[in-house]
Structure 1
């Protein structure tokens, strides 16, 4: 985890009233740190503030909101008597500044985007900071309650009735049955959603590990049925499926991705399902793919097999590949082998949470190479431009691709 993300988690805790006294004291010493201020900018930008200035309160009311913030008004106010008998109130300046930045910074950013994006010089717009993705996800419980997993402290335990959800010190969540309880037949579902610019790892009740890439969602039962384990995936995820036996019989594991069904007994594989294509890459074990369209033949995959299902053309293609390229994302890299520039930029857009526009007709531009997913965005674009035969212009969070 880089320094910006460490600061971002600290800021999210503060804004959610979950920061400890020690963490609040740490905040006090960081307000002059430019990396911390960049992290603060990123956090309030995550909140998707509206860009029309008319939707913001006027400055007087905004300041009133800050002064009445209970985190400042109650614990941080000290009443003192002056020599002339009047009272003097001192507030912790850093708390005032922090909350003020959250309100005022959002307003300035909205005004800038609404009025000035098209009029600013390119060199200024290109300096808008864009940071790589990080561990971010929401968990949606059976009752519809949504919890931001990045705000939970390490070793937090969530009670889900029969099961406990634990977040460990690596940020991973896992499930376990409460002591002295036997599982009932009730099936309860949870959903983990990663935003653009986020990824997350969870360990399900059967011990299977799932690593979600950016812009993805997985719905799964808190406990699995004794006859079948089934999850629903949108987006991209890497699975390490644990073997599960009940009364000596192996329990199959099913991944439903739209019109494709994957069945496995115990294996490692990657599924990428964005748009009209579902790409399944097998690393270890054996899986079987079937499709909603009965005209499509079932596919049985051996290690290093990859199947591309084109939903729009109702077509399936199977070939042997080097899984390195499909798994690079989970190891912190982008890796491409003669990939089209559109494929490359789709990956960049999801991970850095940027928009991409193509200004020219691009034909034949392909890219091969490996780049860290934590590289500075401008350096990353220069590398792609050098090797891919294209040029880029960046205006804020929008990247223009040119011949």
Structure 2
């Protein structure tokens, strides 16, 4: 006589190579509970960004004779527009987001090409902006989201063929390489590296072989080294970061990075007070952009920086908890890639301004000044909220509606 046992239904799992214990912990709560958390964290980060943009930009605006409220008002306008887009996308059916894949990719490529026409403009040495009728936009920021949506669509349609390297490579890598090349031609190495990260994330979460991902990563690393080596400014920044610069480097290429570290150091535990930064008095150029985290650290101290780091951590955990119940591959690749882009960019920015990485010009999501970056990031969050909605997911017949799948205890089977 033998006794058979019935295996419990498995938890919905994350794509990729995460451990079973980690997956079980992530799936421990209903995904629907995480949606308000995601919204609250994103809105809190955006609110912190608005306050810090107003503080960091005021001195330079007054010095140039401009309205000190001009930049925060513009940022507020784009934040409001981004929130409206986020909430609209959160209610959009997944099938419509899939249909946006090719139009978004084609529009992004066309906009990137237009940058090199008379419609394009150069800002701080990077030609990655469009100026149409006084309206400026940065196409590379929207290209990030376009690449994610398009790659998720392609991978979900080809998932049964991804074990063959040619289907894993084509057309994903050529399209990604084209976007990277157009951004790199505009001398924006930082954004190029973020797009490399996004391309790797889509392949990883799509279940592509690690050999293919490794080969693509090696090629991307070589390309990044070539781009750095062929630019005197970039090599100077790397030399400054490595401590190999001249004795006058503190007044040269290392000026911004050094004063950024002074700002973080002078903040202490609780900062000098909101609006009381000293380094923003033209010691840190463009303090409201890539180096806004240093102003935040000076004014709000270690407590403020840890608050921001904690918010990004909560956002990442909440999104991955939401993704654990997602069974559709398109939804998984899109959601995981968007959060990898946002968290990865935040980590790179914070490491850059704190001296752990060389200065490469990457904004801090939701906090740095920039309408294009704000709208694209909020749109990405809106898509996560859309594709992970309960009514967007296929029903599991083994699990009653309104409950979270839990492992059941073994039950005795038929005795023979």
Smaller-chain TM-score bracket:
under 0.3
Richer in strand (by share):
1
Considering fraction of residues, name the structure with more helix.
2
Greater length-normalized contact order (CA 8 Å, ≥ 6 residues apart)? 2
TM-score by length of 2: 0.23
Structure showing greater radius of gyration is 1
TM-score (norm 1): 0.24
